Amino acid sequence: MILTEPSTILSGAHQSFGPDWFRELQARAWEEFEAEPSPARNNELWRFSSVKNLALDEYVTAGDYSADPAPLIGSREFPNSAGRIVFANERLITAELLDPALERAGVLFTTLQEALERDPDRLREHFMAQSARLGSVKFAALHKSAVQAGTFLLVPHGVEIHRPFEVFHLVQGHQAAIFPHTLIIAEDNSAVTLLEHFVSANPEDRGFACGVNDLVLRPGSKLNYVSVQEWSKNFVSVQVNSTVAARDSAAVNLALNFGGKYSRLESVSRMIDPGARSDMLAISVAKDAQEFDQRTLQDHLKPDTTSDLLYKNVLSDQARTIFSGLIKVERGAHRTDAYQKVRNLLLSDEAEANSMPGLEILADDVRCTHGATAGQVEPEELFYLKSRGIDDVAAKRMIARGFLNEVVDRFPEKELSDYLHRQVAAQL
């Protein structure tokens, strides 16, 4: 619901909706938010992070959206999507399932508010069922207490959807705060892809986004989730992602990070049954004084599970990136196969990349590797391109694009990978 007279997000006066249990959940969450301490850099989970950016006192509930959403959507939309939902300042603009056959097959692609009416039991089971484990307990509680604009996608047993769904979250207004939520349930042996866009209408607006994703994979399912973050240069965001992968399921989670002043991304993948696999991917293009703070956990609970993390960052000017990731192999999770690789390409002497990969292994017969690299463009590469008439800026852009291609190429579907390559190229 949109408040025409904006109120501070710290007033506790957020308007609840849905059944009684959900209203009670939001009320308790506000109490949890107030009880939790604010982040501090002496906390290992916030090491290196510029926590001063997370002061919330001046942000207000997003007001009315007055801009035309069409230009923002038209330049970013996937050319052949299966369905599209658009939120503008938390207000629903459109929700459509573009293929009627999917509705007949039992696919449910709708808003969180409607899902609470149509399938409340399933929402109650999965909505923020996983706790925030990487530092943002306070912000997860804030999100739970204030969430209004959410997406629910249910793909029934055996249904495979080859065209992606799309969700847009548009924001306009100085100091506006939003709380986007996405819950996806891929039932047994289903397959689906969702693209989620986060876009500021005005490049100068200061704002705040506190989002949460719940990705639930049933046995044998396949789920691709892609987020494209293009907030304004003065935006602050916290995003908490949770993936739960059951037996023989495969999750691919790709984050494209382009906008914002300070962006915190926490991503937890839990492999809860044998045969589960999770690919955790990210591309960050950081410039000016941007800061991207990335925290991850690959949690292997059962034997014969696989995870593969590849994060790549391109930094210029005085930009900063932080990566802290842990591969955890729980007791009894034998024959775990886990990888973690972070690579940073520095295009200026002032850019700063902090990487802290880690392992915690409590089982035998495992294969786990991790590594982090940071380096500048090789002089020989620049010389080769400049000797062929390419100027310095264009040459670095070409090298950066080639550096990032490895991440996008993890998607075998040509139409989707071509689309993602265009999104990355536009930012370079």
Same domain, residue pair 261 and 147: yes
On the CB side of 9, CA atoms within 13 Å amount to 29
Mean pLDDT of 31-50: 94
Range of the domain at 261: 20-273
Asked if the structure places residue 131 within a domain, the reply is yes
pLDDT at 5: 39
**From CA 271, how far away is CA 101, in angstroms rounded?**
32
Asked if the structure places residue 90 within a domain, the reply is yes
Asked if the structure places residue 53 within a domain, the reply is yes
| pTM recorded for the entire structure | 0.94
pLDDT by residue (tens digit) across 308-331? 999 999 999 999 999 999 999 999
What's the total number of domains in the chain? 2
What's the Cα-to-Cα distance from 89 to each of 62, 93, 163, rounded to whole Å?
6, 10, 27
Asked if the structure places residue 396 within a domain, the reply is yes
pLDDT by residue (tens digit) across 234-248? 999 999 999 999 999
Q: Which of 273, 302, 317 is the last residue of a domain?
A: 273
pLDDT at 25: 93
**From CA 423, how far away is CA 428, in angstroms rounded?**
9
Percent of the chain exceeding pLDDT 70 equals: 96
Confidence of residue 1 (pLDDT cuts 50, 70, 90): very low
Q: Is the pLDDT of residue 3 over 50?
A: no
pLDDT by residue (tens digit) across 5-28? 345 666 544 567 788 999 999 999
Percent of the chain exceeding pLDDT 90 equals: 80
Confidence of residue 381 (pLDDT cuts 50, 70, 90): confident
pLDDT at 11: 57
Q: Is the pLDDT of residue 115 over 80?
A: yes
